[in-house]
Amino acid sequence: MASVSAADDLTDVERVLAGDIPAFEGIVRRWQGPLINMAYRFCNDRGRAEEMAQEAFLRTYRSLASWRKDAAFSTWLFAVAANLYRSELKRMPLQNVALDDIAELTDKRSSHADFEMEDRDRAVRKAVLALPAKYRDAMVLYYFHEMDVPAAAKSLCLPEGTVKARLFRGREILRGKLPQLLEAPRLKEA
């Protein structure tokens, strides 16, 4: 993401707004990876992630004129995409296992000695997606932005304090539901 040039974004946006539609391809090429991966973190389904990212690019194209250049293009783009992904998940929720079911499943598995770390990690990520939407969104975007609270707050269009509170609450829920799972490595180290 760091290699992406803000100047290239600005040039392409201005060209698209001037009627040069093929210039939008530059934007798609530069941002397809981040937008698909952000969608994937929300839905954990590759096909659906691409569909959601395509819709996000379309929405970006439609509202390109509303980008006020006081914020970086990427900030605005991520906010547009995050907003779309959240409403898409509200419209068509994930066929997720309930948080309690994940906890129950992992409790059973943890009784076996050959409990795989990979399975545990997958279960924790599933549990993040099974959180109530406001905590899930904060957590997904926080980790997507490499644990950068201000960036997550900008994508969610929320104050940083609210995002911090939601992250705290989301973690508390996970801690309550998956205690064995999240403490396993500590026990091994001890």
In the complex, which residues of this chain contact other proteins (CB under 8 A)? 21-22, 24-25, 28-29, 32-33, 36-37, 40-41, 46, 49-50, 53-54, 57-59, 61-62, 120-121, 124-125, 128, 139, 143, 146-147, 171, 174-175, 182-183, 185-186
Q: In whole angstroms, how close is the CB of 86 to other proteins at the nearest point?
A: 14
Which residue carries 């996970």 as its tokens? 174
Helical (H) or strand (E) element with 140 = helix 133-144
Look at residues 27, 25, 90, 81 and name the one whose alpha carbon lies nearest to residue 53. 81
CB nearer to other proteins: pick between 70 and 146:
146
Q: In whole angstroms, how close is the CB of 22 to other proteins at the nearest point?
A: 8
Q: Count Cα neighbours of 68 within 13 Å in the Cβ-side half-sphere.
A: 2
CB nearer to other proteins: pick between 57 and 85:
57
DSSP state letters, 49-83: HHHHHHHHHHHHHHTGGG--TTS-HHHHHHHHHHH
Q: How far apart are CA 60 and CA 27, in angstroms?
A: 10
Q: In whole angstroms, how close is the CB of 30 to other proteins at the nearest point?
A: 10
CB nearer to other proteins: pick between 123 and 153:
123
Q: In whole angstroms, how close is the CB of 81 to other proteins at the nearest point?
A: 13
